[in-house]
Amino acid sequence: MELILKYFTALWQLILEMSPYLLLGFVMAGLLKVYLPADFLTRYMGRSNKLGPVNAALIGVPLPLCSCGVLPAGLSLEKNGAGKGSAVSFLISTPQTGLDSIMVTYAMLGLPFALLRPVIAFITGIAGGYATNATDNEAGSAKTTIDTHAVSFDKRSKLKRFFDYTFDEFLRDILNWLIIGLLLAALITIAIPDNFFASITGKGLLPMLIVLLGSVPLYVCATASVPIAAVLLLKGLSPGAALVFLMAGPATNAATITVLKKALGNKTTIVYLVSIIIGAMGFGWLIDTFLPSEWFSIHHIHNHNHEILPAWLVYSSAAFLIVAAVRIYSLKIIRFIKEKQLTKIKMETVVLNVEGMGCAMCSGKIEKKVGEMAGVALVKADFATNRVDVSGEAIDVQKIADAITELGYTYKGLK
């Protein structure tokens, strides 16, 4: 019982540390999503623009997209006019950081890490982009196998789009990984002795290599990686090795590598991985070798929020995010119950072929829009198969198709 209490105390402390900065990051993410013009990305990252990789990294660094969102977004850039180098630069720089993760990094790892992390993501993104352009001998770009829409015809007001994206679509997209990151961080806090990493790893290339080997196949989103890195630093891991985890964990995983190989080819995928590996190991070594270790001491971080921010803001931010998370999971439970009920009731079901869905966010938009229509009892959209299952009574397929088209996706008939 004492161990359980200790675990949940550590977990609650982590939630308090992250919540105000995470909430601010969500707000900024929504503003970027709603007010950035749809054609802005491709205009400044076209194949003829020599500064394409630079522009892609500049845009990618603040965007709070994890790999499930950045992968279709980056590939759609390449499909709709951006060069391969720009797409790779975007794919490398975006998942490593973001406004939300920068805020959380400042809260938990201090100012030096908060400043270095986006700068390193920017540099490695540019390096990977230009390396891709230098090694790509194909005339033109490879066709991607993921269809995503570049222009949205969403008729919702900007304020409604802001709240729907920030606390519904985006939160749902990263919520599982955010919770996993927190749970793991709390577990590490109580499970690993204080001198474990200090006595076994210390500084040098070997501990960074060990962290790299564990991080490359693992996926942790940029925000969720911060609490894990924080407790590892407290346990004795070197700042350079922690940086390797912060870079390689969010930017690489088995699923991303598989899709990139199919969409952009083996050569581009190798350049992508090598750029991340060299960047992580190189900057990790520079930090451990040339920067004072005192810059990365985070023993004071546990009281950081409470010294700078008022208590009411800290606790209200945590409460708001917890309520938002509970809402997301409640909707999932309600959906599960509906699916079970439909198996016992005879209802009409139609299967639509819809192109343009690139990630879970796209599926969520269609499910929400079509689910609100008269006669529809349940909607299930699968972006991987371009399939939308609609169950209900007196289903009007044409109205459903029109609603899907308004969102910017392409209805291709019934399956």
The residue among 231 and 36 whose pLDDT is bigger is: 231
pLDDT for the residue numbered 235: 78
Torsion of CA 313, 327, 109, 280, to 10 degrees: -150
Torsion of CA 267, 273, 278, 281, to 10 degrees: -160
- CA pair distance 245, 216, nearest whole angstrom: 9
pLDDT for the residue numbered 376: 87
Q: How far is CA 53 from the centre of its chain?
A: 20
Q: What is the chain's Cα-based Rg? A: 22
DSSP state of 144: P
At 253, which helix (H) or strand (E)?
A: none
Half-sphere exposure of 142 (CA within 13 A, CB side): 24
Q: How far is CA 201 from CA 190, 208, 237, 238, 311, in A?
A: 19, 9, 7, 8, 38
Walk me through the domains of the chain, giving residue ranges and CATH numbers. 2-322 (no CATH), 345-414 (3.30.70.100)
For 284-333, what is each residue's pLDDT tens digit?
Answer: 999 999 999 888 876 544 444 445 568 898 899 999 999 999 999 998 89
Helix count and strand count (H, E) for the chain: 19, 4
18-22, 32-36, 38-42, 303-307: the lowest-pLDDT one: 303-307
For 179-200, what is each residue's pLDDT tens digit?
Answer: 887 787 788 777 766 555 555 5
Q: How many CB atoms lie within 10 A of CB 20?
A: 24
For the cut 70, the answer to whether the pLDDT of residue 151 exceeds it is: no
Helix%, strand%, coil% for the chain, nearest 5: 70, 5, 25
For the cut 80, the answer to whether the pLDDT of residue 37 exceeds it is: no
Mean pLDDT of 14-19: 80
**SS3 of 107, please?**
helix
The residue among 415 and 350 whose pLDDT is bigger is: 350
For 213-237, what is each residue's pLDDT tens digit?
Answer: 877 776 677 777 888 888 888 878 8
Cβ pair 67, 256 in contact under 8 A: yes
- CA pair distance 3, 384, nearest whole angstrom: 42
For 52-79, what is each residue's pLDDT tens digit?
Answer: 899 999 988 988 766 555 766 677 677 6
- What is the crossing angle of helices 111-135 and 84-96, to 10°? 160
Rounded to 5 degrees, what angle do the CA atoms 209, 210, 212 make?
60
- CA pair distance 211, 285, nearest whole angstrom: 13
- CA pair distance 340, 336, nearest whole angstrom: 6
pTM: 0.64
- CA pair distance 124, 89, nearest whole angstrom: 8
**SS3 of 379, please?**
strand
For 352-361, what is each residue's pLDDT tens digit?
Answer: 999 888 766 7
